[in-house]
Structures are given as structure tokens and as C-alpha cells.
Structure 1
Amino acid sequence: MPTLEKTAGKLALVKLEYHPTIHDMPTDERPRERLKHYGPKALSTAELLAIILRTGTSRDNVIELAGKLLAKYGGLSGLMRADFGELCSEHGLGEAKASQLKAALEIGRRLGMLQNEEKYQIKSPADAANLVMVECQSCLQTARPTR
């Protein structure tokens, strides 16, 4: 229901919006509780990201915030490629949350590299090149051209 609000000496109708928080959700639907009871595979990417971010904003609960970030950046790979400063400028993210997010994504990337190394056999120069390709791509993404 709209309400009247005085702004710059004028009355204006303002639409009030309800933004439920995680605490408004039934306990068994909250991401941390779902992780505890069903394991991480049962959670969506947005729910997993919400656990890392911990809190939302006055406009979006943490699951909505996570979903918006995933949509804007095209998923986890886009968030991985995103510049730290760009993430810090997002509504609801500051240096602390951007740091947590980048650290978690890097841990995931390194784990992926370890798993590939454990089961990958090098039988040719092409095999060796493929093994280091992911690492090289990461280096190229972070390298900045100098002028």
C-alpha cells in the first residue's frame, strides 16, 4: 500500500515494498540449515554464494543478492573474471564481501587444478599444454597491458 512522504516540501506517494530477510524464511528453507541437513549438492549456486556473502541489503535478502550477482556476471566464471574494484562497487558488496567472494572462487579454482593433476596423465606435449592452459588463462585475465 502506498504512503505519503514529504520530500523537498512536496508530498509524494511512495510505494512501500516488503523485502523478506533470511530470518523471515522458515528455518528449514534457509541455506545454512539446508546445507547442514541435505549437504552442499542440494543447494543452488545462489544459495551456496549466499552462505559465503552472509548478509543481504535493505533491498535484497542475501539469496536475492547472490542471484543478481550471478545473473549480472554470467555465473561463477564471470564472478571469477570480475575485477575486485568492480565487485566492491556493487550494491551490497564492499571490500570485505568482495574479498570473501574472490577468495572462495580462487579456492575452488585451485581445487579444480589439483583434481585435474591427480587424474591427468601426460603422454605428449599437447597433454602438457592442456594441463597448464587453465593456469595460463587465469594469468592472462589478470595481466594488464602497460603503456
Structure 2
Amino acid sequence: MYKIPRQSYTPEFKQEAIRQIEAEGKSPAQVARDLGISEQTLSNWRKAHKAGKLASGSGKPVTPEQMELSRLRAENARHQDGARDPGKSHGVLRQEVAVKYAWLDGMRAHYPLQSLCRVLSVSTSGFADWKAGDGPACPVTHRN
């Protein structure tokens, strides 16, 4: 399960999130997804608002640009977190060079070869040699 990094939000931001649910009739799940926050956080803000304990802020409205920036930051954090986690590669990063080359061969349709080689710490020339049959033998029998 993905855990969103701890952040602090302005009272205006919280009020705007609640306004979207109450005034615009959006579902809490949709508002949470749009803003890049967890549904539980939004639920806590709604409870505090109903109890009169949610700080009202300066009354300055949150601009759509600020809302979009918050959503993009959360989305970026989710993408970066997965990109930095070697466990997400299903063990490819821990395999021998020939297995890495076989994986690279399958991923070339989705990403530039130079970027893939840099991430896996292998050379493009080594990949070319492997592809031509001059490189290390690959224990993987399926190649695209």
C-alpha cells in the first residue's frame, strides 16, 4: 500500500476541499483523488469542520492553480517513490547481466534504450553485443 508523505495543509486548502464536497456535490473519494490526499485525511477534516474545530483560516480562497499544484506534487511523489524502490523491479536489478539484457529487450518499446541501460548499470554496447549473439548467454528462453 502506498503511503503519502506527511504534509501540512493550509486552513484555506482544507476549507476548499470540504467546500467541493458540500457545495459542488463531489464524492469524498473523488475530491481526495483530485487533491492528492488520502480519504482518511479528508474524513478527519470533515469531522473537525462539523465539530467547529477546523481553523477557518484568513478567508483567502485557494486558487485552482494552488489546488492543481498540490495534486501534481502528490502525484509526483507517488511516481518518484516507485521509481526509487528496487523492489518494484521484480528482482531484475539483482540479476546477472544477461537477464538484465533480456528485460531491457522487452522494455525498449516503452523507454529509451540509453535510459534503461543507465538505470540498470549496463552498457548499450554490451546490450548490442548480447542482441547480436556475441554477449553472455541468457538463461531466459523467451525473447521478444
TM over 0.5: no
Higher relative contact order (CA closer than 8 Å, sequence separation 6+) = 2
Instruction: Indicate the structure with greater strand content.
Output: 1
- TM-score normalised per structure 2: 0.29
- TM-score normalised per structure 1: 0.28
